[in-house]
Amino acid sequence: MQIIKTIEELRPIVKGWRKEGLRVGLVPTMGYLHEGHKSLIVKAVSENDRVVVSDFVNPTQFGVNEDLASYPRDIERDAAICEEAGADLIFHPEPEEMYFADSCTFVNMDKLTKGLCGKTRPTHFRGVCTVVSKLFHIVTPDRAYFGQKDAQQLAVIRRMVRDLNFDIEIVGCPIVREKDGLAMSSRNTYLSGEERKAALILHKSLLLGKQMMEQGERDAAKVKAAIIQNMETEPLAKVDYVEIVNPDSLENIDIIKGKALIATAVYIGKTRLIDNEM
Ligand code: PAF
């Protein structure tokens, strides 16, 4: 498995694969890989002839007061995980390789990015859409793999691919959880022992909401209120949002009829965690 740092080196490799008629899968990541990422890579390996994992902490998706500088990084550990999962190549560029000093072109989305995480992270999805578009142009994959944990990101990328006519199949993959239910995330490493226990309230509360819906509750406001009330039993948790939305349009649902995504973001101490259930 190769680790490639420049676009100039990467392009001829992928072109060579294409000439041979090989199908290429891309797993975009910001590194510090965990079992969730590994499951995406394993799936990509099973469905494509060659798999590229991008490992790039993308500065444009972090807000000014967010954790860009402290975001965990460990390329050697990532390389071992990618190798084990069967990836062929890691694309690991420096920020200067991805962005010109005077870059002034960004991919903006009007809808889908305003609610949920977009409310408190107003520039986040502009950064995500921009870097993912760039990765799509650089790697030219047939398929790209994203986790369902970032449900808003998945919906936004699906919409971007549709709206901008990228000829790429977007594959959404299930959330991978620790045994006790905590959704895997590179940011879990920020949690102290006490916070790690407190973080279990996210999934427990989501399951409570899901159970209410399964038992026939149709009033989204009631389900939301019960989830928030349950979250608030945990003193270390501060709810950013709990919303019940259509998983494709991300529009709020009042009366639950068809598919409904319960999405949440919660601060556990200083760490903001997201999770969802359908
Ligand atoms: O989900 C992530 O890790 C990032 O948002 C992504 C898609 C790799 C873009 O930087």
Query: Which atom number of ligand 1 is nearest to the Cα of residue 54?
Result: 8
Kindly give the confidence (pLDDT) of every residue in the chain, 278 residues in length, as a single tens digit, with 9 standing for 90 and above.
999 999 999 999 999 999 999 999 999 999 999 999 999 999 999 999 999 999 999 999 999 999 999 999 999 999 999 999 999 999 999 999 999 999 999 999 999 999 999 999 999 999 999 999 999 999 999 999 999 999 999 999 999 999 999 999 999 999 999 999 999 999 999 999 999 999 999 999 999 999 999 999 999 999 999 999 999 999 999 999 999 999 999 999 999 999 999 999 999 999 999 999 99
Max Cα distance, the chain (Å): 58
Delimit the CATH 3.40.50.620 region(s) of the chain: 2-173
Q: What is the dotted CATH code of the domain comprising 186-277? A: 3.30.1300.10
- 37 carries an active-site annotation: yes
The residue from 34, 37, 92, 203 that is catalytic is 37
Contact present, 39 and 173 (Cβ < 8 Å): yes
What's the CATH architecture for 2-173?
3-Layer(aba) Sandwich (3.40)
Neighbouring-strand partners of residue 91: 4, 54
Nearest-atom number in ligand 1 for the CA of 28 is 8
Residue whose CA is at the smallest distance from ligand 1 atom 8: 29
Provide the whole-model pTM.
0.97
CATH 3.30.1300.10 positions along the chain are 186-277
State the amino acid at position 254 in one-letter form.
Answer: D
Q: Is 165 left (phi over 0), alpha (psi -120 to 50) or beta?
A: left
Atom 9 of ligand 1, nearest CA residue: 128
